[in-house]
Structure 1
Amino acid sequence: MVRGKTEMKRIENATSRQVTFSKRRNGLLKKAFELSVLCDAEVGLIVFSPRGKLYEFSSSSIKNTIERYIHHSVEDTTTTTTLDQDTEQRKREAAVLAKKIEALEASKQKLLGQELESCSSSELHELEGKIEQSLRSIRARKYHLLKEQIAKLKVKDSSLVKENALLREKCKLLPQIPSAASKEFPPRSTLGQHTEVETELRVGCPGRGTTHGMSSQLYTNQ
């Protein structure tokens, strides 16, 4: 037969209430004992009956168990208080950081030339000095980088000059190969000599003597 589920409410009948208390108290004490033996746990159990009678169980000493519980409760309270204090401290630090970030953002906008309506003449003068100082630092860094680039280019130029000179020396050591133009034309020394050209004009039928003849020699000097 299946046992019905007991409704969790106060038993009105005094006799039934007393019987139920006795049964469940014994079962609770038995479970506490089993827990302490099986799991090697420190267990302390205190039960007062409806009439004020005390029932207790302790795996070691109920007094020591109670003192340990009190000490642990104090530690928990202290830990909770410390955590609350740390939380409040973190909140205050976060608020301070938020204000600093807001101030830095406003300063950034002013350095960019924005939101200057609320600035006084002295604030604008101070802002101008900061910008000029920043420009000097930027230009100094720029000139430094340019000098480094120029020095690197000079080193590279010197290396190329040396390499070019070395290539010229190698070219001088190579054997001279006559070109095709020097083979086709005679040397210039022979061009200045006299050249003789003979021309002769003959009149008459072919194979006969010449009736009139003219001959000339043309001398040209180039």
Structure 2
Amino acid sequence: MRKMIERLEASKRKLSGESLNSCSLQELQEIEEQLRKSVKNVQERKNQMFKEKMEKLKEKEKAQTEENARLSVKFAPMTKQARQNLSVNPASTSEINISSLDVETDLFIGLPERRT
């Protein structure tokens, strides 16, 4: 059991790039191939996770689009009615009716005079 643990620890050190001075060319090539396979597995898992996340986001987008459509149908009559109310009675808005104000827009230079 002890020898097995020592071999595993030595293998772990080699895979992490430690204790490579004692390795032969053949061992280094085997370690390199093992690392390539490991990197490939990591990349495949990462890509799988990205795909799963994209699918979840697409599902969420679809659900939100459906909710938006549902709310648009629900509130469309209200907004249509509100627009009709504004066009019938514009004084009911909080905006000032500018056409009813008497404003002098001429420019005069000099002292102000009383105009009647």
* Residues in 2 aligned to 1:162 and 1:137: alpha-carbon distance in whole angstroms: 38
- CA shift, 1:173, in A, is 1.9
Runs of 4+ in 1 over 6 A off after TM superposition: none
Distance 1:112 1:172 in 2: 63
Matched, 1:152 2:60: no
> Is residue 182 from structure 1 mapped to residue 90 from structure 2 by the alignment?
yes
Question: Aligned residues, how many?
Answer: 90
Q: Structure 2-normalised TM-score? A: 0.70
* Greater relative CO (CA pairs within 8 A, separation 6+): 2
Matched, 1:106 2:10: yes
The whole-number CA distance in structure 2 between the counterparts of 1:172 and 1:128 is 64
CA RMSD between the two structures: 2.0
Q: Secondary structure at the match of 2:81?
A: coil
| Correspondence list, 1:1-222, <5 A | 97-174=1-78, 176-177=81-82, 178-179=85-86, 182-183=90-91, 184=97
Q: Distance in 1 between matches of 2:8 and 2:59?
A: 45
Identity %: 38
Structure with greater proportional strand content: 1
CA-CA distance at 1:124 after TM superposition: 0.4
Greater Rg over alpha carbons, structure: 1
CA–CA distance in 2 between the matches of 1:182 and 1:112? 76
Which residue type is aligned with residue 147 of structure 1? K
Structure 2 unmatched runs, 5+: 92-96, 100-116
Offset at 1:179?
Answer: 3.7
More helix by share: 2
Where structure 1 has 5 or more consecutive residues not aligned to the other structure, the ranges are 1-96, 187-222
